[in-house]
A and B are shown apart, each in its own frame.
Chain A
Amino acid sequence: MSRKLASWDTAIILLTVLVLIIASLAVDNFGTSRNFTFMVLDLLPIILVALPMTFIIVTGEIDLSVASTLGLTSSLMGWFWNHGLSIETIIPLCIVIGAVAGAFNGFLITGLGLPSLAVTIGTLALYRGLALVVLGDSAVADFPFNYTGWVTGTLSWLPWLDGAVPNVLILIVVLALIFGVILHATPIGRSLYAIGANAQAAHFAGIRVARTKFWLYVVSGAVAGLVGVLWTLRYSSARADNGAGLELAVVAAVLLGGVSIFGGKGSLPGVLAGVVLLTALQNALRLEDVSGQALNIVTGALLVLSVLLPNVISSIRGNWQRRKLRQSAAS
């Protein structure tokens, strides 16, 4: 089973590399440094939200409220800005508010024992609604250029890279490393898999299941808050409807990366590859003037095929081996 899983991760990573190479060769303007920056900016929110989402799905739960938390912090950011708070205060404040929203999810799920899918469908509506309450139909747009410019800008202290490395890439790499190491090389990571695969056995092994899950939701909320800030700065527009629908894109990417929706299985490199694959493919197809509708079909088909193909291949291989065994026994 672990071998099969490994092949799923590897398959996605290989496929991603393949798509990147083919696109660079075959699609005009794909391999340019400016397009690279555009791509990184496009995948920024998905990849950041996907990090804690991977943890949560590995423990067998889900958080559908992330995009709404993002919208809420974006709204609040605009509200605070209108009320004269400084950006340096607003950013940590928004992250904390995101964490509080996550903590509320966590409390309902671990404290009251409600199913996470149901709870976060509820808070998906609730947080988006609160975002509307805060900012209503207005948008706040006059954020300072040194912040909005940083999010869309590229590293300037690396002149020989010629503006090829977007600033936010550093953030992505650092956070991905932290989350990756925690998931794959620490006792916490081990306990997450155990919780996802068998919460009762984890409890018997002295793992504090409820507390761990609670903190995952807090982290998920905090990251959503951070992404709310980045989103607002990137588009220099604080609005209540920012990021609507992002949750499905994130869940799709995480599943594409080989994480089992039932918990206990999956790896972070796979998820990262999943996000990159989806974004790169969409970018390349857009450059080739493939319509948005066809993008839908491609995304959907990719999601299904990425899981279907390894299964089909392994079952064909299994049948073939069995037949060989039978033949050798007969002779």
Chain B
Amino acid sequence: MAEAAALLEVHDVTKSFGAVAAVQGVSFPLYGGEAHALVGENGAGKSTIVKMLAGVHRPDTGTLRIEHTDVDFTGPADAKAAGIAVIYQEPTLFPDLSVAENIAMGNQPLTRLRQIDRPATHANAERLFQRLGVHLDPTRPARGLSIADQQLVEIAKALSSEARILIMDEPTAALSAVEVARLFAVVRSLRDEGAAILFISHRFEEITELCQRVTIMRDGKHVATELVADLTVDDMIRRMVGRDLSALFPKQEVAPGEVMLEVSGLTREGVFRDISFTVRAGEIVALAGLVGAGRSEVVQAVFGVDPYDSGTVRVRGRSLKRGSPRAAMAAGLALVPEDRRQQGLVMELSIERNVTLPRARKLARLGLLFGGAERKAALTWTQKLQTKLGSLADPVGTLSGGNQQKVVLAKWLSTSPQLLIVDEPTRGIDVGTKAEVHRLMSSLAADGLAVVMVSSELPEVLGMADRVVVLREGRVAAVLDRAEATEESVMYAAMGQGAA
């Protein structure tokens, strides 16, 4: 089916932001009826390409061609009119509008008087959700949706416009296996109807499963465009990183120490109920479950950013004041939240201020903070995590998605916690750095750190965890030891009877 006329062509495009050359002379075609993967390390320039295709950025040089005609998008409206639908890396919903309105925005069904047809709007949303297998009330506002649900609404939105060219920037980063499978089914059927798909992901199994062709980028430059069938995963990784990578999950065996965290009977009405588990020093405990099972809510309640109604949280035997992140930090806790844009980072502030935000008081001398102290503190951890950045004084919002995630990690690791809670720690992180993060967590655990990890990536859960606590609909469905935890047993517990 390949070698048909290219629906869209990226021709020798370049884009710089100040001194950062984000994309340098990249070209590749997108064919109808084909899914095309775009891979590269964090900051390689993938999202920048997406934004040029979406009309958000204008290429500095080079052109985009649709069916062999040059196009010059002056804004997202132009791209949309040209039949391009985009799922951005970061969800872009309207929090005050209902989910159905979010999906319909821009092409709402109209009645004869050009008024909006509300019932039809809702019916559309329902239909799309059914197709994606999502259970969401179309009339609820988008505010307060979990990051995964937001991502699903984004997907529904992109599908609703019935575009010829569908661009998806890490749509699966927040999803678990079940939703990914449903999404792929839908995308395949679109592809078979002749649409061109551009798909970005850091999960290679997804690429081999869905895509026919792959373009590899490194440091803003084009490395290769090949058929996926002609490459192994290792080939791709080698070309994208420029070197070989060692084993992915180097889990170290540790003898667990004293009990660090003891959660018992934790309940928040309508969200989770009767959650109990313990974590010892040196242990990595994973919270697994489907999207919306309530894992994030549990760890947020433990850390004190959310309230809870009953139950207790003890850290090293002493009960922790509820609803106070400051008390939790004083007790040695750290939480890497799941939504880096809303919860993890202050986008307008510089990288160094973000990294040092939780411990600014410790860095102060006589109550005064000097820029140098913050810079030095920030440098250590951003370097350890190989963050790709221009200057530490740049606003964190100018970093690529994966590098932003590294800044969040740096921020919390630099507080030298004794109990680290990570919520989707490697979301959007490239394969090389992911290995680095895992190695880091593992070695920190070996030094006696206790880790609670919420993750939707089953291989990560199975590879890293000493114990897996599976949540289902806000309750503990199973607690599995490392030996018992397999893909089947975790999925079985997560989905309840009748599945797996």
Contacts and interface: CB of A to CB of B under 8 A. Distances in A.
Interface of A: 1-2, 181, 185-187, 189-191, 193-194, 197-198, 200-208, 264-265, 322, 325-326, 329
B346 A206 contact: no
Interface string B346-366: 111110010011101101100
A193 B346 CA distance: 9
Given A197-B346, A197-B349, A202-B357, 16 more contacts: A1-B348, A1-B395, A1-B397, A185-B370, A186-B367, A187-B361, A187-B363, A187-B367, A190-B353, A193-B353, A198-B346, A201-B343, A201-B346, A204-B343, A325-B16, A326-B60
Closest 7 CB pairs of A and B: A187-B360, A329-B61, A206-B325, A187-B361, A198-B346, A197-B348, A206-B326
Contacts of B353: 190, 193-194
B368 A185 contact: yes
Contacts of A181: 368
A71 B337 CA distance: 46
Given A2-B394, A193-B346, A203 B368 contact: no
A208 B326 contact: yes
B335 interface: yes
A200 B342 contact: yes
B48 interface: no
A203 B357 contact: no
Contacts of B231: none
Interface in B305-362: 305, 325-326, 328-329, 335, 337, 342-350, 353, 356-358, 360-361
A330 B1 CA distance: 36
Interface string B368-384: 11100000000000000
A57 to B, nearest CB: 14
Contacts of A194: 346, 349, 353, 357
Contact of A326 (B61, B347, B356, B363): B61
Contacts of A202: 346, 357
B177 interface: no
8 contacts: A2-B350, A187-B361, A190-B360, A191-B360, A200-B343, A201-B342, A205-B325, A325-B14
Contacts of B395: 1-2
Contacts of A265: 348
Contacts of A206: 325-326, 328-329, 358
Interface in B250-279: none
Nearest to A195: B346
Nearest to A260: B348
Contacts of B348: 1, 197-198, 264-265
A201 B325 contact: no
Nearest to A264: B348
Main secondary structure of the interface of A (DSSP, over half): helix
Contacts of B343: 200-201, 204
A198 B347 contact: yes
Contacts of A190: 353, 356-357, 360, 369
B7 to A, nearest CB: 26
Contact of B369 (A186, A193, A198, A201): A186
Contacts of B360: 187, 190-191
B61 A325 contact: yes
A189 B361 CA distance: 11
Q: Most chain-B CB neighbours within 10 Å: which of A2, A189, A198, A322?
A: A198
A198 B354 CA distance: 11
A186 B395 CA distance: 19
A56 B364 CA distance: 23
Contacts of B398: 1
Given A2-B350, A197-B349, A264-B348, A325 B60 contact: yes
Contacts of B369: 185-187, 189-190
Nearest to B335: A204
B467 to A, nearest CB: 26
B110 interface: no
B77 interface: no
Most buried by B among A187, A203, A265: A187
B324 to A, nearest CB: 8
Nearest to B61: A329
B349 A193 contact: yes
B393 interface: yes
A122 B34 CA distance: 61
Nearest to B342: A200
Nearest to B371: A185
Contacts of A186: 364, 367-369
> A189, A204, A207 — which one has the most chain B CB atoms within 10 A of its CB?
A204
A198 B346 CA distance: 6
A198 B325 contact: no
Given A185-B368, A186-B368, A204-B337, A198 B345 contact: yes
Contacts of A185: 368-370
Nearest to A198: B346
Contacts of B346: 193-194, 197-198, 201-202, 264
B14 A329 contact: yes
Given A186-B367, A190-B360, A2 B337 contact: no
Contacts of A203: 305, 325
Nearest to A203: B305
Interface in B402-438: 411
B398 to A, nearest CB: 8
A282 to B, nearest CB: 33
A129 to B, nearest CB: 34
A1 B367 CA distance: 28
B357 A205 contact: yes
A317 B192 CA distance: 47
Interface string B47-76: 000000000000011000000000000000
A4 to B, nearest CB: 10
Nearest to B391: A2
A2 B368 CA distance: 22
Contacts of A329: 14, 60-61
Contacts of B326: 206-208
Contacts of B337: 204
